[in-house]
Amino acid sequence: MGIESSAHTFGVGIVDNGRMLANEKMMYDVGTHGMIPAKVAETHVKNAGTVIETALGKAKVSMREIEGVGYTKGPGIGACLQIGQLAAKTIAIGLGVKITPVNHAVAHVEITKHESKMKDPIALYVSGGNSQILKLAQTPFPHYQILGETFDVGVGNMLDAFAREIKLKPAWGSTVAKLAANGRYVEMPYTVKGMDFAFTGLLTYASELAGKRSNEDLCYSIQETSFSMLCEATERALLLTNSDELELCGGVAQSSRLQEMLRSVCKEHGMRFGVAKNEYNADNGGMIAYVAERMLKKGASETIAKCDIQQKYRIDKAVVV
């Protein structure tokens, strides 16, 4: 069983030898106020039991049949991470089974790699809080090396912040995408340095144009500019590393426009492009269960005393088992 609680989602997944038996979740309603950590954590506490029971029912297994448990150690919001960690520890102690902390970003990359049947892809991991270009490296230990990343905010949070600026309704990112469909391009700041990128200049510029250009034009332009930046940096990473596979993962991977742009980059170079089903791009417990099962089978468990959370648990610090 895998438990995810790093942000607004409390998710529980159950896997059996890599086969997903259940992937259930309940989400905190961000409304127009965004995420207030204590409120999100309170909602997770309220929902935890229901989500665990629903997942067991869907998987048609009893709690007694759970052979190990994993939870999201980070990165994420401290108050939220605590809830999943506590639920997992309670299960591990109650059932007398092994437990392992899982890096949230590793889980996104690994579930997509599995779903897309890729061997050694470059991964573009894009979500609210993260935007990174990654590749598996073996030294000094197996980990995802960060080839490129955002200098400031994640692309998802940038689009959400802009949507709030022009008073759109949640879900902000997808509302931007809808308006973008009828927009015309306005030139905007484009910041790529090698394989790194930055988004706050773009956000400030687009926000200053609010009311001066139509929301459709601004949404189209901020989306096209930020996604083009991601495509340029990713294309550079693919070519520099001689890679022939690209996977797209994380919450923003649900964007059909970003998928389309990266697919065309891959097509131009004869590379494979892969993206998982949306249920795995959004936060979910299934990906945590998938990675936890593999870790536990290879003996990578942790003692209860050493099971902690880490809000800024960077992907390159996590051992990939």
Which residues are at the interface with Fe ion (CB under 5 A)? Answer: 127, 283
Apex 126 CA angle, 124 and 128, nearest 5: 170
Residue 204 CB, nearest approach to Fe ion (Å): 26
Task: Give least dist CB 108 to Fe ion, A.
Answer: 6
- Give least dist CB 256 to Fe ion, A: 19
Whether cis (ω within 30° of 0) applies to the bond prior to 171 is yes
Our CB check for Fe ion shows the closer of 186 and 315 to be 315
CB of 259 to Fe ion, least distance (A): 17
Report the residue number, 107 or 180, with the smaller CB distance to Fe ion.
107
The values of phi and psi at residue 87, to 5°, are -60, -45
How distant, in Å, are the alpha carbons of 5, 199, 219 from that of 161? 22, 11, 12
Question: Smaller CB distance to Fe ion: residue 220 or 290?
Answer: 290
In the complex, least distance from residue 295 CB atom to Fe ion, rounded to whole angstroms: 18
Query: Which of residues 127 and 254 has its CB atom nearest to Fe ion in the complex?
Result: 127
CB of 285 vs Fe ion, minimal distance in Å? 11
Closer to Fe ion by CB, 206 or 315: give it: 315
Q: What contacts 43, CB < 8 A, 6 or more positions away?
A: 10, 26, 28
Nearest-approach distance from CB 104 to Fe ion, in angstroms: 6
Residues 6+ apart with CB under 8 A from 80: 5, 6, 7, 8, 37, 40, 41, 44
Cβ burial 254-293 (10 Å sphere, 16+ → b, else e): bbeebeebbbebbeeeebbbbbbeebbbbbbbbbbbbbbb
Least distance to Fe ion, CB of residue 27, Å: 12
Among the residues of 60-147, which ranges form H helices?
78-95, 104-115
Complex with Fe ion: residue 112 or 225, whichever CB lies closer: 112
| Cβ atoms of 220 and 179 closer than 8 Å | yes
Nearer to Fe ion, 102 or 271 (CB): 102
Query: From start to end of 155-218, where are the E strands?
Result: 192-193, 196-197
Q: Which residue is nearest to Fe ion (CB)?
A: 283
Question: Would you say 219 or 292 has its CB closer to Fe ion?
Answer: 292
On whether the CB atoms of residues 51 and 11 are closer than 8 A, the answer is yes
CA 71 to chain centre: 15
**Cα 6 to chain centroid, rounded:** 10
Q: In Å, how far are 128, 172, 181, 182, 184 from 216, measured between CA atoms?
A: 22, 14, 8, 6, 7
Token representation of residue 127: 């979500």
